[in-house]
Structure 1
Amino acid sequence: MNKKYVLIVVVVIAIAAIGGYLLFNHSADTQSTSVKQKTILLSKSAYMEVPDTKNVSDEVNKNGVHYYKNDKDDINITSCSNLSASSSSKELKKLKENVTTGAKKSTENGVVIYEKNGTYSIFVKNTQYNDTLLIQSSNKDLLLQCSQSVQFHDPAQKVEIKNDDGTTSTDVIDVVQKTESVVSSSSSDSGTSSSEVSTSASDWGYDWSSGGSSSGGGSSRAGGSASSSSRFDFS
């Protein structure tokens, strides 16, 4: 057999083998870096997605303010809704003042971002349905990813979170149930009733991003007939 021909065959086989190896490893790396998502039902009219990680801190205080902390993926979320007590609005407003004072302000893709001591913050607000949240992380890309997953919908429309195979997802943090339970208990103990969260623009100022809207489920994990809601962007 011609030595030149044999050499060509060997080279072709070697290239094919190397190409297959690289393709296999790239596929494996892609799969290994794929992050499973968990849905947070922030209120009856808002939800968002975060990396699905165990051992996260998730609680609602007596005012109905929800605190979610994920140290592994470095993402913190603080939120309140019209299910919260009226005092929750003051709590979020004070937090906003602390975060923005002395912070470096920038805008990316229409989203206002505050950076302070290595932590990036985005405020998202829906004045129609009274949803207010603060998303924070030292990873700006993750911060933007989480903020872009925020979806608002008409509270009269039920949104069901589904897996890729169409089954109902169990990877859900139900803040609605926790908020209703805590605020109801707190109101009963004090003998007073909670009122809706104040969300007027004059109360909060500007620099709030509007978040997304959901029409038929804005997330690939959401099902149902959620309708698009009006949003107000104060960025």
Structure 2
Amino acid sequence: MNTKHIIIVVAVVAVVAIFGAYFMLGENQEITSEQVPMRLSKSAYMEIPDNPNATLETDKNGVSRYSDEKDDINITVASNLSLSSSKNEMDKIKDSVATGSKKIVEDNVVIYEKNGTYSVFVKNTQYNDTVLIQSSNKNLLLQCFNSIKFHSPTDSLKFNDTGSSKGSDTSSSKVVDIAQQTQSTVEKSTSSASSSSSVSSSSSGSSYGDSYSDYVSSSRGSGLGGSSSSHSYGDSYEDFV
């Protein structure tokens, strides 16, 4: 092999090594962003990277979508404050995410990977909260997932600027309050509708099935007075319906 060929081989090996190291670091990089609390519903909250430029939109069914392009985290929520029609919307989202995805089980968490994006669904059947977390950074995804806490809807919480919660209210300027926006949007949607039986029969709490026998699931304390929390992790689209 002449010198020219040796140089080419060395260059190719170097490029492959650089790209391999980049992707490994990208997936396993340490999360150093400041964390702030996100109130998901009357019975759930989590910790997310602090980004005042992130966007939050809620549709008429009470399905909220939070997008943080800087930190690469997207969160979709249908909660006990959403309309029952939000179930169909979340079913469609779940179907879209699961179709064609590679399913990874890590620490009893089912993660869907498709086109470099990792997705995890969390459902609490006790309080009817469903959360979808998505990111191309699996470490960040799992960090946000592991920060989710469920508590009784009758509990009042106080969040400070470091993201911890205790006390009696949500009086932190940095709280991302999805619950408040969901409730406000749903109230406007229902108040503008007619008083027909189809409207009056819809409730402010989502009606989700509680059959998750085929899911990988676990329980843990919420950290608030020891109340229990139950995560249900999606294992197939059929089981989610």
Same fold (TM over 0.5): yes
Identify the match of residue 71 of structure 1 among 62, 69, 72.
Answer: 69
Q: Which residue of 2 aligns with 1:233?
A: 232
Cα offset for 1:211?
Answer: 7.7
Residue 29 of structure 1 is matched in structure 2 by none
Q: Percent identity?
A: 51
Distance 1:229 1:86, change over 3 A: same
| Residue number among 172, 196, 209 corresponding to 2:175 in the alignment | 172
| Partner in structure 1 of residue 185 of structure 2 | 182
Whether the 8 Å contact between 1:123 and 1:208 is mirrored in structure 2 is no
Q: How far does residue 208 in structure 1 lie from its aligned partner after superposition?
A: 6.7
Unaligned 5+ runs, structure 1: 1-32, 217-225
Give the partner amino acid of 2:207.
S
Alpha-carbon separation, structure 2, partners of 1:84 and 1:146: 22
Q: 1:66, 1:119 → 2: CA distance?
A: 19
Of residues 46, 49, 62, the one that matches 2:47 is 49
TM-superposed deviation, 1:82: 1.3
Distance 2:216 2:74 in 1: 17
Say whether 1:215 aligns with 2:237: no
User: C-alpha separation between the residues in 1 aligned to 2:134 and 2:217?
Assistant: 14
Q: Distance in 2 between matches of 1:233 and 1:175?
A: 21
Q: What letter corresponds to residue 150 of structure 1 in structure 2?
A: I
- The structure number with the bigger radius of gyration is 1
TM-score normalised to structure 2 length: 0.73
Q: 1:157 is matched by which residue type in structure 2?
A: D
Name the CA distance, whole Å, in 2 between partners of 1:46 and 1:111: 19
The answer (yes or no) to whether the contact 2:34–2:49 under 8 Å persists in 1 is: yes
Aligned amino acid, residue 230 of structure 2: R
Q: 1:208 to 1:85 in 2, by over 3 A?
A: farther
TM-score (norm 1): 0.75
1:229 maps to a residue whose letter is: S
The one-letter amino acid paired with 2:210 is: A
Contact 1:148 1:211 in 2 (8 A): no
Length, aligned pairs only: 193
CA distance in 2, matches of 1:80, 1:206: 22
How big is the shift at 1:179?
A: 1.1
Structure 2 matches for 1:11-30, cutoff 5 A?
none
